[in-house]
Amino acid sequence: MKAGHETRQGTVARDVIFEGRGLHTGKRAKVIVKPAAAGYGIVFHLLNRRGPATTIQADWRNVRNLPLCTCLTDGTRQQIRTVEHLLAAFYGCGIDNAAVEVVGKEIPLLDGSAKPFVDALAGSVEILHETRRTIRVVKLLEVRDGPRWVKVTPHDHFRVEVQTYVKPFGRLPWLRCNFDRPSFVSDFAPARTFGSLRDASLAKIFTRFLPNPICLGASRHNAVAIFRGRVVSPGGLRFPDEFSRHRALDFVGDLTLAGGDFQASFTCFSPTHRLTRQMLEAILSDPTSHVVV
């Protein structure tokens, strides 16, 4: 980690390219991450064969609630799905500003984690002179969605505590971590998305012809697949608590939609993308809940 990287904004020094199939659409997409000036933020440019590109800011207010992913939209029918792993990699690498050109409707899943993104981006980070924005939470807030919940409290650092419920394993042990970028890159970025092989197969059958299909690109090779009470993906788990680590990865990726780092402690039970977006709204819509440093 370069000196000043924790407090100063960053971008990429050169174009970084990713290609692969999307988790839900199953279609190939190409992503080009381009340098951007300080204060630009993360902006997705959806390249259309006909007409101008569609521009969508990576902002919590632009989230469209779709299952099993974070989807950004410009308020029309234009959208980009499954941005969370790339956003998590941006956090880990200290990239606050980038123009992300996309040919397709979904960010490629690659191996199901943020690691391939981190590996490609880490060697091309350029530190800028401007200071990174920090959001310091000053009061307790809580949001719920059925049995799932997220609570935030004031804290001196960025802390995340996650407990995950995974069928058929039940409630997993709590995972607790004071996050910094090096620990995220080494301990969380490699954690892969996961799910039931049976549920994914049924989703492919019943959503294939819907406008927003689910899991058409999922396989045992790009996700941790669970079948009959055991992990059936080649090589097994990368971490004993890989399920919880991936929940934390998704959570951190979604928090980047606030446009800055957090100084707060988040405690979560089985958080979803939708619930994390609700927490961002609760914090950022309440001027008494936080201070921007």
Residue spans per domain, the chain: 8-292
Whether the predicted pLDDT of 52 surpasses 90:
no
pLDDT class of 48 with cuts at 50, 70, 90:
confident
The third-level CATH classification (topology) of the domain covering 8-292 is: lpxc deacetylase, domain 1 (3.30.1700)
Catalytic residue list: 273
Among residues 78, 72, 76, which one has the least CA distance to residue 50? 78
Q: What predicted TM-score, i.e. pTM, was given to this entire model?
A: 0.96
Beta-carbon count within 10 A of 139 CB? 12
Residue 3 banded pLDDT, cuts 50, 70, 90: very low
pLDDT confidence bin for 75, thresholds 50/70/90: confident
Given a cut of 70, is residue 230 above it in pLDDT? yes
Q: Cα–Cα distance between 66 and 63 in angstroms, integer?
A: 9
Helix-strand-coil split of the chain, %, nearest 5:
25, 35, 40
pLDDT category at 4 given cuts 50, 70, 90 is: very low
Question: What's residue 281's pLDDT?
Answer: 98
Residue 15 — very low, low, confident or very high, per pLDDT cuts 50/70/90?
very high
Mean predicted confidence (pLDDT) in 276-286: 98
> Could you report the per-residue pLDDT of 86-144, keeping only the tens digit for each?
999 999 999 999 999 999 999 999 999 999 999 999 999 999 999 999 999 999 999 99
Which three-class secondary structure state does DSSP give residue 91? helix
> What pLDDT sits at residue 215?
97
The CA–CA distances, whole Å, from 274 to 166, 229, 230, 256 equal: 18, 27, 27, 14
